[in-house]
Chain A
């Protein structure tokens, strides 16, 4: 038993009353006037180059949206912390931020985190999540009902590349090169199958260890396979320049292609001549694109006069799509829970992204299966469009 007397109890009650009177307007303000996007973002570590750009993209979207009046009367706010691209740290950040804030929208940093936190998202039923991962496993609305990705998944990215290849050269010979990581292995099996179905000949599969620096032996294998196209997946930059450089030394005729995370313009600009002709799939327009149907890019350039990396566009569009889901949910007078948010997201049809993606998009499931082939021009130091926008048919 405690030894509180009547005076203590009255004192405590008065304090509690005062406290609730003092703090309740703040709580009400937070509940009614804010829409918080939480974020486990890798600002350090192996994926930091993307994390820094992603944070800038989301922050700018938040700023632009708030300047335009917010989302259904609510101000947007980004609450995030660094994860160093480590799953345990991402989970810790998630727990901390969701305890401190009323979060219904969340940005995760990796496939590992998305898979780890999925059960918790399903249990809570209050958060819609997207993130830096385009892992094909996440593109399953039944298993991952409250997640999505702002672009094609990795299998879809390679499918876009294969469609381009099939159109360019019937029966072309292809080699897949991937890093021996979850990221690298993700689309390979399905893509090999798809390539064969499309009448393309897969003449080799090369796997590089996660920390590979020297790729001389892999180049020797590539020379033997002598493909028309080499598709890389699971890399940001290294060891791609060395592949390209040695392939040119050996006079290989292969054209080299990559997927989204290895398509940043500034990364290739440093590589110089060997980068010339490198191609790949991009779900978004580049920062410098002055297409007349891309007003949002003009706005971004005014906000940030220097080049912004591809991660910036990814962060910006992800925030745009999750916010659109929240806007539709609020405007329908529904509660901001995961089920309503995801249902609202899936009503997005022929949506204008302001030009970030060059065609109107729809999100019937967990991905946006649209992309375009770009090719790097060393003379102009720019990725240039090599195809029109390609929308995959399911």
Chain B
């Protein structure tokens, strides 16, 4: 056994798992507050990548300005979608809202094709090309950056949910909307906040994913991989998104290396089936989660 090689594969797996975890966070934030599974997370991620491309390559803005603008753009889309599409659906069945988000994904993909055309593109490099070595183990620079960003963001959210008033209001709304109303919590405001923050997070993940794999109108399929993560980790658990993401990243890396690339998805979905059989609400999810 080549332990250095194993360590490198493991680090690569943790890095790509962190990207999955960051995207999964967008699913969790919306579900936690509103009980809506937003299937358009992948397309909002795609939009984040394109917004960064537009601000940096199109308008020639420096990276330090293009990144926050792209993230803010994602948040603005989230606010618009929540106010115009999701809030009028309050009280409708979960499957109706779910289908609205499926349609939203198609619309966003169409918009991207119309505005930026259908060509795949590479994002301007903003992470540098110097390789990172941990001891003797090589890690791709982009993956290392992605891991650090995802780790910081997820830790921040864990702290916010624990200590910030807005985070506590979100948890209260998730537990019992009527009780939250009676305590004076602005429940529609919490819904908006969840959509804004989640879509901004997805847009940020889109910049990282786009920096690694390039952008195209169909890159939203990455969101489906993250959906597997949240089902395994728990639809309403931030910690579950982190653990699920890292777990899937590791399993895929090991399976891809030692069994072959064609076994990556087989292994992932086998894990999903096993997780659903053993803990249908996810590793860290709340037991009474309604499933579609």
Does B264 lie within 8 Å of A209, measured CB to CB? yes
Binds A, one of B68-76, B125-133, B156-164, B240-248: B125-133
Q: B214–A220 contact, CB under 8 A?
A: no
For B141, the chain A residues whose CB sits under 8 A away are 249
Residues from 202 to 235 in A contacting B, C-beta threshold 8 Å: 206-214, 216-221, 223-224
A245 B129 Cβ-Cβ under 8 A: yes
Closest 6 CB pairs of A and B: A207-B261, A48-B118, A216-B12, A213-B213, A214-B16, A249-B131
Question: Which residue of A has the minimal Cβ distance to B12?
Answer: A216
Interface residues of B (CB under 8 A from A): 5, 8-9, 12-13, 15-16, 19, 109-110, 113, 117-122, 125, 129-131, 138-143, 209, 212-214, 216-219, 221-222, 224-225, 253, 256-257, 260-262, 264-265
Contact of A220 among B8, B117, B122, B261 (CB under 8 A): B8
Residues on A lying within 8 angstroms of B by beta carbon are 43-46, 48-49, 51-52, 180, 206-214, 216-221, 223-224, 236-239, 241-242, 245-246, 248-250, 266-267, 270-272, 309
Which residue among A180, A238, A239, A309 has the maximum number of chain B CB atoms within 10 Å of its CB?
A238
A214 touches B19 (CB 8 A): yes
**A236 and B117: CB pair below 8 A?**
no
Contact (Cβ within 8 A) A221 B118 = no
Secondary structure class of chain B's binding surface, majority of residues: helix
Closest Cβ–Cβ distance, residue B214 to chain A (whole Å): 4
Beta-carbon contact of B122 and A214 below 8 Å: no
Which A residues touch B219, using CB under 8 A? 213, 238
CB < 8 Å neighbour of A218 from B142, B214, B261: B261
On whether the beta carbons of A220 and B121 are closer than 8 Å, the reply is no
State whether A237 touches B262 (Cβ < 8 A): no
25 residue pairs A–B, Cβ–Cβ below 8 Å: A48-B217, A52-B117, A206-B261, A209-B261, A213-B16, A213-B19, A213-B213, A213-B219, A213-B222, A214-B19, A216-B16, A216-B253, A217-B9, A217-B253, A220-B8, A220-B138, A220-B257, A238-B214, A242-B213, A249-B129, A249-B130, A249-B131, A250-B131, A266-B119, A272-B125
Q: Please name 18 further chain A to chain B contacts, defined as beta carbons within 8 Å, in addition to the given A242-B214, A272-B122, sorted by A numbering.
A: A45-B218, A48-B118, A211-B221, A213-B19, A214-B19, A216-B253, A217-B13, A219-B140, A238-B213, A238-B216, A238-B219, A239-B212, A239-B213, A239-B214, A242-B213, A249-B141, A271-B122, A272-B125
- Determine how close the nearest CB of chain B comes to the CB of A273; give it in whole angstroms: 8
- Whole-angstrom distance from the CB of A266 to the nearest CB of chain B? 7
